[in-house]
Amino acid sequence: MPIMNFTKFTNFINSNLKNNQKNQKNHKKLNKKIPEYTLKFFAMFSSSIIFAIVIFLIYNSVPLVTELNIFDFLLGGQWTPSKELYGILPMIVGTILTSFLSLLIAVPLGVGCAIFLSEIIPNNISKIFRSCIEILATIPSVVYGFIGMILLIPLIRDIFGGTGFSALSGGIILSIMILPTIVSLSEDALRNVPSALKDGSLALGATRFQTLKNITLPSALSGIISSIILGLGRAVGETMAVIMVVGNWALIPNSPLEPVRTLTSHIVLNIKETATGGVIYHIMFATGLVLLIVVMALNLIAKYVNSKYNLNN
Amino acid sequence: MSKYLSHSKKRKIEEKIAFSIFYLCGLTVLGILFFMIWHIVSNGIGVISFSFIASIYNAIVGTLSLVSLSIVFAVPFGVLSAIYLYEYAKDSKLSQIVRFSSDCLAGLPSIVFGIFGYAIALKTIGPSLLVGGVILSFMILPIIIKATEEGLKSVPSDIRDGSLALGASKWQTIRQIVVPSAMPQIITGVILAMGRSAEETAAVMFTAATIYASGFGLLNRVETLSFNLYITATEYSTQQELASAYGIAVVLLGLMITLFIISNLVKRKFAKYNSNI
């Protein structure tokens, strides 16, 4: 009998222990899962923002399809809301013109500066220099616009005549604004070229410039190109500095010295005058959508170029 | 022999010309920066006085409250998302989506945030401090995610393994070991994000900013430094108004450069810490 009791007792203890272990295991599992799921929720919420924005823009531009022809909208050369002409081609031309003018200035200057930083001056001076360029990137875009209005506009007016508010002014201000992007990313690309390649070239008797021209630059080319595309993306999306210097005429310009209006300034100039639900209201969202598609495409291309041809990957 | 020498001479001249062009590029960029800062500061520093600060007091408060609000919203989401991405999801589908969307968000022009926020504001409580703060927090979220992820990446896996080997759970390890080690980089990211939201104008001008703030509260519009500068710069009629635009520009520039210096100091301190490991 006592033996029976004893086995009963041990059974009871064992089952209790097992239960306990089971409970503990469940408890542990739960403890493990709670943080993970909480974090997952936050991650999913963060990523949902961009989808919300895209869906919102599409939802608000769709009513346009019934109200006007998409080709009239994208390729119409006239923005005259009073006559129901809603073409945004002048703004597209204005954006392209200012952005490419800015690249024309910023690319040679920026890439030259990146070479200067990575190849010519010693590292400790280069570090200080780099901080200066980072400061250039932190200057607010309204301050750029203000400087453009105060310094650049009178300068352009004195040299070329006219009002000074022009695509050229926009291009110059934008070029300064995208310099930090181009310089720092190009410098990274140049520094990422394996030193074995450069040393090999130098050991074969090439000069530093020949090494740069034939070895370093071609190897860093993909990084430099992607920095230029990213700079272009920034130029297309820049708003405040541009609106302050380009004059904002909704006409297709004949020369870079004429005022233009960019897609971004078009949105700023029109949105406050729109009642919710009107045609212009929807057009502003469609314009935002065009902007978003262009900038995102540029960013993706830059990323693709960088990853596809990067030596380090 | 002489031909060879002349060739080498030619190479040397070529190198000299090319390198001096690069020199010129570098100095031009530096020159532009110094000229701009010098111009703003030399014209604006005289304006700064006690009464001037008092006159832009509302704008300073507005800017700071927008910055703090956006940080309060963005930091938990940014940091926790990044922890999930790096510590749990590594390379899963979800993490790819989150990374991709954060990249997209980072590249989005600020005016797109502006119209998005404007439409949201119109449908809800109207342009206000709250809406502006939320929209700004969307803008700075990618900066914080990226900085946190970089911070987590820099924590050596030995430390994680050590903590796990001592019996700590994964969450304990992350909370008590990994995140504190990544803290300097997270802080750097937060400071950068603060700068980003302090300078922002396009996203704020339709969602939160006004020229004259009537009262202060979450549901009220606020004045901001950047919007005030925009309005004063585009609409000034007297020399005095122009001077006050310079003054605001100096304050804004000072704020940005201060934030930049602080973030660099944190970074440097972190570099020291890192070399001790």
The 10s digit of each residue's pLDDT in A232-249 is 999 999 999 999 999 888
pLDDT tens, residue by residue, A103-156: 999 999 999 999 999 988 998 999 999 999 999 999 999 999 999 999 999 999
Q: What is the pLDDT of residue A277?
A: 67
Do A227 and A181 meet the contact criterion of CB atoms below 8 Å apart?
yes
Q: What is the mean pLDDT of residues A199-221?
A: 90
- The arithmetic mean of pLDDT across residues B13-23, rounded, is 90
> Can you give the pLDDT at residue A77?
82
> Average per-residue pLDDT in chain B?
89
Question: pLDDT exceeding 70 applies to what percent of chain B?
Answer: 96
Percent residues over pLDDT 90 in chain B = 52
Q: Which residue has the higher pLDDT, A4 or A274?
A: A274
Q: Which of B258, B237, B234 is nearest to B64 (CA)?
A: B258
pTM as predicted: 0.88
Residue A17 has pLDDT above 90, yes or no: no
Give percent above pLDDT 90 in chain A: 50
Please say whether the beta carbons of A42 and B84 come within 8 A.
Answer: yes
How far apart are the CA of B51 and the nearest CA of chain A, in angstroms? 22
Q: In this model, does residue B2 exceed pLDDT 60?
A: no
Nearest to B233 among A115, A149, A208 (CB): A149
Q: At CA A139, angle to CA A136 and CA A142, rounded to 5?
A: 135
Q: In whole angstroms, give the CA distance from residue A90 to residue A150.
A: 26
Does the pLDDT value for residue B226 go beyond 50? yes
B36: which chain A residues are within 8 Å (Cβ-Cβ)?
139, 147, 176
A245 — contact with chain B (CB < 8 Å)?
no
Whether the CB-CB separation of B232 and B241 falls below 8 Å is answered with yes
B253 and A139 Cβ atoms separated by less than 8 Å: yes
At A231, list the tokens. Answer: 């700079």
Between A115, A272, A299, which is nearest B22 by CB?
A: A115
| Res. A15 pLDDT band, cuts 50 70 90 | low
What is the structure's pLDDT at B38?
95
The answer to whether the CB atoms of A264 and B109 lie below 8 A apart is yes
CB count within 10 Å of CB B252 equals 27
Query: Above 80 in pLDDT, residue A6?
Result: no
Give residue A235's pLDDT. 94
- How large a percentage of chain A has pLDDT more than 70? 88
| Average pLDDT score over chain A | 87
Best A50, A56, A268, A292 member to test B by mutation, with max B CBs in 10 Å, is: A50
Q: Nearest CA of chain A to the CA of B217: how many Å?
A: 23
**pLDDT for the residue numbered A234:** 92
- Statement: residue A85 has pLDDT above 70: yes
Residue A25's pLDDT is what?
67
A-B contacts (CB, under 8 Å): 255
Residue-wise pLDDT for B145-169, tens only, equals 999 999 999 888 888 888 888 988 8
Dihedral pair phi/psi, residue A86, rounded to 5°: -120, 45
pLDDT one-digit tens code per residue, B234-276 = 988 888 899 999 999 999 999 999 999 999 898 888 776 655 4
Q: How far are the Cα atoms of A106, B20, B67 from residue A180, in angstroms, in the given order?
A: 9, 21, 24
Q: Higher confidence at residue A199 or residue A76?
A: A199
Which residues contact residue B16 at a Cβ distance below 8 angstroms, ignoring those fewer than 6 apart?
none
Q: Name residue B248's amino acid.
A: I
Stretch B6-12: mean pLDDT, rounded? Answer: 80
Nearest CA-CA distance, residue B216 and chain A, Å: 23
pLDDT at residue A269 greater than cutoff 50: yes
pLDDT of residue A313: 41
Question: At which residue do the structure tokens 């310089």 appear?
Answer: A183
- Best-predicted range by mean pLDDT (A31-40, A68-77, A263-272): A263-272
Does B213 score more than 70 pLDDT?
yes
The DSSP-derived string for B176-226 is IIIHHHHHHHHHHHHHHHHHHHHH--HHHHTTTB-SS--S-STTS-B--HH
Where is average pLDDT lowest: A59-68, A104-113, A217-226? A59-68
- pLDDT at residue A225, as a whole number: 93
Smallest CA–CA separation between A89 and chain B, in Å? 19
Compute the average pLDDT of residues A43-57.
Answer: 91
Predicted local confidence at residue A65, as pLDDT: 81
Average pLDDT over residues B66-84: 94
Contacts of B174 in chain A (CB under 8 A): 35
Nearest CA in chain B to A240: B202
From chain A, the residues in CB contact with B28 under 8 A are 109, 113
Residues in chain B within 8 Å Cβ distance of A151: 39
**Residues 92-151 (B) with a CB less than 8 A from some CB of A:** 94-95, 97-98, 100-105, 107-116, 118-120, 122-123, 138, 141, 145
pLDDT of residue B95: 84
User: From the list A40, A112, A296, which residue is nearest B22 (CB)?
Assistant: A112
**Which of A14-23, A83-92, A292-301 is the least confident region?**
A14-23
- pLDDT grade, residue B277 (50/70/90)? very low
B139 to each of B81, B102, B113, how far by Cα in Å? 15, 10, 8
Looking at residue A2, its pLDDT comes to: 52
